[in-house]
Amino acid sequence: MPSSTAMSEIILAESSVALPPTQAELKSDDGIPMETQRHKVQMDMLIDTLFPWLASRDDGYVGGNMFVYYSLAQVKNQDFRGPDFFVVLGVPKKERLCWVVWEEGKGPDVVIELLSDSTATQDKNEKKLIYQNLLRVSEYFWFDPFNADDCAGFFLNRGVYQAIPANAQNQLVSQSLGLALVRWQGIYKGIDATWLRWATMEGQLLPNAEEIADLEHQRAEQERQRAEQERQRAEQEHQRAEQEHQRAEQAESQIRQIAVNLLQQKMGIEQVAQLTGLSESEVEQLG
């Protein structure tokens, strides 16, 4: 009697029903680079800053500029390029060649598209509808790296995207991640621009690789300084103990000299002991 798996394979073979392709069989790269260097760096910023946050979880995946397959019709027509940035929660941590919804069991929870003159209309209309109606992405954001004012977010409400209003700190909050998207002016990878970045709900930026390295360097330097301060304190304590020991020896020497002088003046041993605090045996040895 063949196993259930073998039986399924026999039935599929006999009925000529093809299994959906796997990620190993699907195209994973369209060969089209990001629009500009700034678009590529912005994508890296979003991915790199989220990796440490994701490391604290047992699940999850973050990717960018890679195909997301959600239907066999899409595979056939090859009519959809993957999002610039996406996050999926509740999935195993492992490498993917592309994201295949029928393999993973779900699509992205959060998607961000980086606008450009050539893609803005598609990102704001066609892709938005795909994320809303086909992939059911919980939250969709877009951002123009060359026009920071063109930034918006949407959450899925009863199957329809509703705008996410900016909060009092002018942040767009992702309820799916419990994080906020903020616009930050600064230099990253040699480019001075306004960047879209992840932050905690308290407004603390999630650090990028350069900032993590700087923080680690600062912590190492602080640790070195603490160790040096501790060494100096120990040295000072040693010096104080040595000085105290020397003072004690000098005081004892002076007392003994006084005892010797008193004995030379024919004072009795018992009386000398009382005056100097030495024991009678110590005074006797001095005599």
Going by pLDDT thresholds of 50, 70 and 90, the confidence category of residue 5 is very low
Range with the lowest mean pLDDT among 33-37, 178-182, 251-255? 33-37
144-173 pLDDT per residue, tens: 999 999 999 999 999 999 999 999 889 999
CATH of domain 19-207: 3.90.1570.20
Going by pLDDT thresholds of 50, 70 and 90, the confidence category of residue 15 is very low
Residue 245 pLDDT > 70: yes
Q: Delimit the CATH 3.90.1570.20 region(s) of the chain.
A: 19-207
Angle between helices 209-264 and 269-276 (to 10 degrees): 150
Residue 1 pLDDT > 70: no
Going by pLDDT thresholds of 50, 70 and 90, the confidence category of residue 275 is confident
